[in-house]
C-alpha cells in the first residue's frame, strides 16, 4: 500500500512560534441524553444542540460526559478533547496527570481552507529534564501546554471554559470510577508511601475505592491559577517557581529552564492508503502510531490478526527507537524482528463533532501514577522521566476521505506493548462499522473507537461509538 507524509511549511512554523509566545504569557454503551450538567446544575435545553452532536469514547466515564457536554453546546471535537484531557488529570491522574504528556491527532473537514481537510499531529510527549537527579526522576510536565496548543489550533470556545469542569471536579470532589480504583489498588503500597499522595488518595488512612469521593484542593488551586493567569504561568511564572521547588521536594527535580523548553509542536502524521480512504497515524516520538501503521498495512493485505502481526507492530517501533529510521522507510521495508521492554501504561480517547471534526489522543504518565509522588502544594502527580522508563507506545489514528472531504473513523489505543496492534485492529473494524467488534482486539491491547462507514458530514446514522468493554470507560454519543 502507498504511504506518504505531508510536508509542513512556513505558516505552520509561524503558528508554533506564535503559540509558544502566547503560552509564555498567558464500559460500552451510548448515552443519548444527559439530564444534568457534569458541573452539577440542570441543563438549559435552549443552549443545547438538537439532533446529532457527535460523540466521545474514553477510559473514564466522568471525563467522557464532560466532553460530550461541550459537544452538546456547539463545541468542536478539539474543544471537547481539551475538556476531556483536563478532566482526566483530575479523574484519572494515574495515567493522565498535569505532570505527564501525550499526543493527539486532529482533523476537520474543509479541504479548501488552510489547515483543514487533512489530519495533523499535536505532540507533547513526556520529556526528561536536562539533568536526571533525585531518587524518583520526574518528567517535565507537558500536558497543559499540549492541550493549549490543541485548543489554539482547532478550538472555538474560550480556553478557560474548557478547564472549568476539571477545576470544579477537583474542588468539590467526584465519585471515583472503577478505572481509577483499579489503578489505585494495583500500586497502593508504593503510592501511599508518599505522604502527599497518601493525604489525597487515602485521607482516612485507607485507600479510596470505587464510589468514594475524591477531593483535591491543591490541584483545584493549581487549575484555578492556570485559569486565571494562563498556561504560561505553569512554565514561566509564579506557578512554575512553585512547581520547581515542589519537584525537588518530591525527589524528581526539574528547573525553570526545563519548563521553558517544554514546548509542544505540530507534526506530520504517517499517512497510508486504505482503499478509497486514507488513514493518518501519530508519528514518532509517539511511535505507537508507527507500529499501528505497520500492522494496519499488513492487516489490509492478509485480513488476519496473528501473532506475527503483533510482532510486526512492536518491531516497527523498536526499529525507530534503535536506529531513528525514517518511518516511511520502515513501512516500506518493515523489520521482521525486534523487541521492546515492558512498556508503561497509557490511556486513550476519541472525539467526533457534528461537522465531522475529530480528535484522537493517547496520554501517559510513563508509569502508573508516574513517580508515585505528588509535588507538594500543587496536587500534581509527577510523571516518570523517560530517561529511566521506556516511553509508552502512544497510539492514535484517524481515517478520512479526501474526495468526500469527510471523516470515517478514529481510534485511540492503550495496553502497554499491545497498544499499537490494538490501534491497527480497531481502526480496521471501525472503518467498516464493526463496532462493537465481533472479535475483541488482542490482549493486552485496549481501544476506544468511533466509526462512520458512510462518512460525516454525510450519514451520521452510520456512526457507532465503542469503548473497550474490558476497561471501565464510556461511549457517549448520538443525539
pLDDT over 50 (residue 259): yes
3-state helix, strand, coil in the chain (%, to 5): 40, 20, 40
**Nearest Cα to Cα of residue 366 among 194, 147, 140:** 140
The answer to which of 80-84, 237-241, 306-310, 457-461 has the lowest mean pLDDT is 306-310
**Nearest Cα to Cα of residue 159 among 108, 230, 221, 218:** 230
**Nearest Cα to Cα of residue 405 among 112, 6, 155, 122:** 112
pLDDT over 90 (residue 171): yes
pLDDT over 70 (residue 111): no
pLDDT, tens digit, 9 for 90 and up, residues 196-246: 999 999 998 899 999 999 999 999 999 999 999 999 999 999 999 999 999
Contacts of 404 (CB under 8 A, 6+ apart): 455, 458
Q: Look at residue 204 in the predicted model and tell me its pLDDT.
A: 87
Q: Look at residue 274 in the predicted model and tell me its pLDDT.
A: 95
- Tell me the whole-structure pTM to 2 decimals: 0.91
Section 175-196 average pLDDT: 96
Residue found under cell 443519548:
32
Contacts of 315 (CB under 8 A, 6+ apart): 294, 334, 335, 336, 337, 338, 339
Q: Look at residue 18 in the predicted model and tell me its pLDDT.
A: 40
Which burial class, exposed, middle or buried, applies to 55 when counting CB atoms under 10 A from its CB (0-12, 13-18, 19+)? buried
Q: How many whole angstroms separate alpha carbon 50 and alpha carbon 394?
A: 35
Higher pLDDT, 454 or 15: 454
For all residues of the chain together, what is the average pLDDT?
90
**Over the range 193-232, which residues count as b (16 or more CB within 10 Å of their CB) and which as e?**
ebebbbebbeeeeebbeeebebebebbbbbbebbbeebbb
Per-residue cell: 337? 524482528
Residue found under cell 524518583:
136
pLDDT, tens digit, 9 for 90 and up, residues 137-169: 999 999 999 999 999 999 999 999 999 999 999
First to last CA, the chain: 37
Residue 177: which region, alpha, beta or left (left: phi > 0; alpha: psi -120 to 50)?
Answer: beta
Residue found under cell 470507560:
473
Per-residue cell: 466? 465503542
Higher pLDDT, 103 or 4: 103
Section 170-181 average pLDDT: 97
Per-residue cell: 431? 472503518
Contact present, 124 and 171 (Cβ < 8 Å): no
Q: How many beta carbons lie within 10 A of that of residue 457, not counting itself?
A: 14
Q: How, if at all, do strands 101-107 and 374-375 pair? A: unpaired
Residue found under cell 505552520:
12
Given pLDDT bands bounded at 50, 70 and 90, which one contains residue 113? low
Determine phi and psi for 72, rounding to 5 degrees.
-65, -20
Q: Look at residue 69 in the predicted model and tell me its pLDDT.
A: 97
pLDDT, tens digit, 9 for 90 and up, residues 366-423: 999 999 999 999 999 999 999 999 999 999 999 999 999 999 999 999 999 999 999 9
Section 117-135 average pLDDT: 96
pLDDT over 80 (residue 303): yes
Q: Measured on CA atoms in the order 402, 403, 405, 410, is the torsion positive or negative?
A: negative
Provide long-range contacts, Cβ within 8 A and 24+ apart, for 189-192: 190/372, 191/369, 191/372
pLDDT over 50 (residue 276): yes
Quick one: which H or E segment has residue 362?
strand 358-364
As a dihedral over the C-alpha atoms of residue 254, residue 258, residue 264, residue 268, rounded to 10 degrees, the angle is: -110
Given pLDDT bands bounded at 50, 70 and 90, which one contains residue 115? low
**Cis amide linkage into residue 399, ω under 30° from 0:** no
Q: How many whole angstroms separate alpha carbon 443 and alpha carbon 417?
A: 10
Q: How many whole angstroms separate alpha carbon 216 and alpha carbon 90?
A: 8
Contact present, 295 and 306 (Cβ < 8 Å): no
Amino acid at each position: 500500500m502507498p504511504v506518504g507524509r505531508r510536508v509542513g511549511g512556513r505558516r505552520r512554523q509561524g503558528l508554533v512560534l506564535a503559540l509558544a509566545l502566547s503560552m509564555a504569557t498567558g464500559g460500552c454503551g451510548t448515552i443519548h441524553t444527559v439530564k444534568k450538567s457534569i458541573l452539577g446544575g440542570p441543563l438549559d435545553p435552549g443552549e443545547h444542540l438538537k439532533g446529532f452532536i457527535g460523540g466521545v469514547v474514553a477510559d473514564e466515564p466522568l471525563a467522557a460526559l464532560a466532553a460530550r457536554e461541550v459537544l452538546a453546546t456547539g463545541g468542536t471535537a478539539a474543544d471537547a478533547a481539551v475538556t476531556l484531557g483536563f478532566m482526566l488529570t483530575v479523574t484519572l491522574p494515574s495515567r493522565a496527570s498535569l505532570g505527564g504528556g501525550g499526543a493527539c491527532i486532529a482533523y476537520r473537514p474543509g479541504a479548501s481552507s488552510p489547515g483543514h481537510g487533512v489530519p495533523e499531529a499535536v505532540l507533547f510527549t513526556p520529556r526528561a529534564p536536562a539533568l536526571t537527579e533525585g531518587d524518583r526522576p520526574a518528567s517535565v510536565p507537558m500536558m497543559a501546554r499540549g492541550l493549549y496548543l490543541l485548543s489554539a489550533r482547532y478550538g472555538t470556545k474560550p480556553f478557560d471554559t474548557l478547564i472549568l469542569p476539571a477545576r470544579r471536579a477537583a474542588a468539590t470532589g467526584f465519585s471515583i470510577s472503577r478505572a481509577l480504583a483499579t489503578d489505585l489498588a494495583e500500586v497502593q503500597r508504593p503510592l501511599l508511601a508518599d505522604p502527599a499522595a497518601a493525604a489525597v488518595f487515602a485521607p482516612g488512612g485507607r485507600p479510596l475505592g470505587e464510589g468514594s469521593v475524591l477531593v483535591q484542593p491543591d490541584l483545584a488551586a493549581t487549575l484555578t491559577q492556570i485559569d486565571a493567569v494562563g498556561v504560561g504561568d505553569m512554565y514561566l511564572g509564579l506557578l512554575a517557581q512553585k512547581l520547581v521547588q515542589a519537584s525537588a521536594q518530591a525527589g524528581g527535580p526539574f528547573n525553570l529552564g526545563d519548563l521553558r523548553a517544554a514546548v509542544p509542536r505540530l507534526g506530520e502524521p504517517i499517512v497510508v492508503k486504505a482503499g478509497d480512504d486514507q488513514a493518518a497515524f501519530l508519528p514518532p516520538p509517539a511511535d505507537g502510531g508507527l507500529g499501528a501503521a505497520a500492522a494496519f498495512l499488513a492487516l489490509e493485505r492478509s485480513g488476519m490478526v496473528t501473532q506475527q502481526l503483533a510482532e510486526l507492530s512492536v518491531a516497527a517501533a523498536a526499529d525507530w527507537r534503535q536506529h531513528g529510521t525514517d518511518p516511511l522507510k520502515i513501512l516500506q521495508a518493515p523489520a521482521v524482528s525486534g523487541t521492546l521492554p515492558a512498556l508503561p501504561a497509557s490511556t486513550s480517547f476519541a472525539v467526533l463533532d457534528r461537522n465531522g471534526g475529530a480528535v484522537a489522543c493517547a496520554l501517559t504518565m510513563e508509569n502508573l501514577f508516574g513517580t508515585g509522588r505528588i509535588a507538594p502544594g500543587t496536587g500534581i502527580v509527577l510523571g516518570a522521566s523517560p530517561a529511566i522508563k521506556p516511553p509508552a507506545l502512544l497510539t492514535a489514528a484517524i481515517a478520512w476521505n479526501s474526495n468526500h472531504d469527510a471523516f470515517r473513523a478514529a481510534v485511540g489505543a492503550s495496553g502497554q506493548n499491545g497498544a499499537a496492534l490494538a490501534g491497527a485492529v480497531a481502526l480496521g473494524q471501525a472503518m467498516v462499522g464493526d463496532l462493537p467488534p465481533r472479535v475483541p482486539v488482542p490482549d493486552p491491547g485496549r481501544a476506544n473507537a468511533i466509526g462512520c462507514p458512510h462518512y460525516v458530514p454525510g450519514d451520521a446514522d452510520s456512526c457507532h461509538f465503542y469503548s473497550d468493554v474490558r476497561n471501565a470507560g464510556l461511549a457517549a454519543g448520538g443525539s
